[in-house]
Amino acid sequence: MWRSRFLRGAGYLLQGTGCSPCKPAHLPPWRYLSFYQPCFKPVLQNPFEKHCFEKRLRPDVALYFCRTLRKDAKSIIDFPVQPLTVTDIKQYLRSKDIPFHDGYSCLHAPSIFLEPAPEGSGRENYSLFIDKTTGQFLCKETLVEGSWEDLQDCIEVMLNEGQTSISPNVLLGFPESLEEQEEREMEMKEVQRIWSSSVPFSDLLEEEVQLVKTMFQIGKLTNATLKKFGVRFFKPTKSLVFPWFSGHDSSLRGVKLLSAAMKDDRQVVYTEATVPKVSRYHNLFGLSLVGRKDGEVVLTGREVDSMAVSQATGLPSLALPRGVSCLPPILLPYLEQFKKVTLWLGGDMHSWEASKIFSRKLGLKRCSLIRPGEFQPCPSEALAQARNLMRIVKASIPAAHKSIVSFKQLREDVYGELANVEQVAGIQWSRFLELNRILKGHRKGELTVFTGTVNTGLLCIFLQKKLLFKH
């Protein structure tokens, strides 16, 4: 807001100087504004001297966008910014006569990057999704994305030019640096190399298929399910390959490799690697299989869990790219079409806590949670144990309202902690093992009071506690 006012004010002042703009030939028309660059240093030193500002104008230097239309661009000058609210977003859209309607976590609006449908045709495409919390937007048709400031700039340029839409190249066509171009090209070459070198399960020998399934504990998954989701086997690293297909045109955008290794204690450890790197890997595994009219989905934390749910229940199932650690906001628009979201992220307490957090992002009213327990493990284990996954999904509980807590919910939370003592234990004492048995470690949100007379060892305990937290 401050930045746009500054640019607008500078433009008004400069128009009075009688200077005509000179449009640079190397800039496309949508990246140019008819402003000029003043001499900033003297102005900022004494901003209240009006004549000083006017005398030091340099009409021979063109002023382009103060901030580039790029999602990772940062301004040189830091202006005080108030937190963005959904009310601010709605008021701005109304002021620009842009229709919208409320979604679960996003506002839906007609995309300004597409030609509008004829009036009265009933084919208006609300494909522009604006995050209610951050203002970050995504056009699902053109895959244009950016910040709230990016969207404001695009709207202002479009309206100033008197157009009904704006080219998506405003954001997609921004020239990357040489390093970024080389990195992106290398990543895509690596994706194609891995994908072309990997083998579908239908091309493996039966002995190899059984060995791979045993290695990754997916013996109950059929070859038809693996083929449906496009899973392959990469022999050089003995890894499962999970593809990232774009929901727009089903093109290959990346891969995730799941590898297995045996430790000295005979335990199998699984490691993951993604191409492109994790920060740019935004894959909802299974999204390409979801139909436009599907209104229910099961959200899981792993790809093998997603396939297990799909095979056993027939319901649409998606896997988060980073498991229970994160739900990237850029994925929220792809989950807007579902009226019911069942979160089955795993079989431990960490998954349960993540489910409650993610349900707030997705909208509590449409979310249901599957509480982990002995009879409700993660989907792949439930399938291996021949449990009824459809019954488990139907038994999911609605996500609780943040202001309403029932005794039943408290009782189940307490039971969950008692049944999973090791998972909810805090930081363990290194010397006082008896305290570990009684207190279960130092846990967040708990207050422990030590009392005693003089010379009973209170200071010793506190010093040990300080050393423990220091390391």
**For range 378-395, the mean pLDDT:** 94
Q: Delimit the CATH 3.40.1360.10 region(s) of the chain.
A: 198-409
Q: What is the mean pLDDT of residues 108-123?
A: 79
As given in the structure block, the two tokens for residue 294 are 């599907």
pTM: 0.69
Cβ density class 108-145: b for 16+ within 10 Å, e for less: bbbbbbbeeeeeeeeeeebbbbbbbeebbbbbbebbbb
pLDDT digit string (tens) for 436-457? 777 777 777 778 888 888 888 8
**Among candidate residues 170, 175, 177, the one with its CA nearest the CA of residue 154:** 170
| CB of 437 closer than 8 Å to CB of 425 | no
User: What is the average pLDDT across 411-415?
Assistant: 71
For residue 227, give both structure tokens.
């083929």
d(CA 248, CA 246): 5
Burial class (CB within 10 angstroms; exposed 0-12, middle 13-18, buried 19+) of 379: buried
Does the bond joining 329 to the residue before it have cis omega, within 30 degrees of 0?
A: no
User: How does residue 117 score in pLDDT terms, banded at 50, 70 and 90?
Assistant: confident
189-237 residue pLDDT tens: 999 999 999 999 999 999 999 999 999 999 999 999 999 999 999 999 9
Residue 425 burial by CB count (10 A; 0-12/13-18/19+): exposed, middle or buried? middle
Q: With 80 as the cut, is the pLDDT of residue 88 above it?
A: yes
What residue type is assigned to position 107 of the chain?
L
From first CA to last CA, the distance across the chain in angstroms is 45
Average pLDDT of the segment spanning 91-96: 93
How do residues 236-287 score in pLDDT, each as one tens digit? 999 999 999 986 677 899 999 999 888 777 788 899 999 998 888 999 999 9
Q: What is residue 470's predicted lDDT score, i.e. its pLDDT? A: 58
Q: What is the mean pLDDT of the chain?
A: 79
Residue 451's pLDDT is 83
pLDDT of residue 11: 42
Classify domain 198-409 by CATH number. 3.40.1360.10
Cα 33 to Cα 342: distance, rounded to the nearest angstrom = 48
Q: Are 37 and 53 in contact (CB under 8 A)?
A: no
Ramachandran class of 397: left when φ > 0, alpha when ψ lies in -120 to 50, beta otherwise: beta
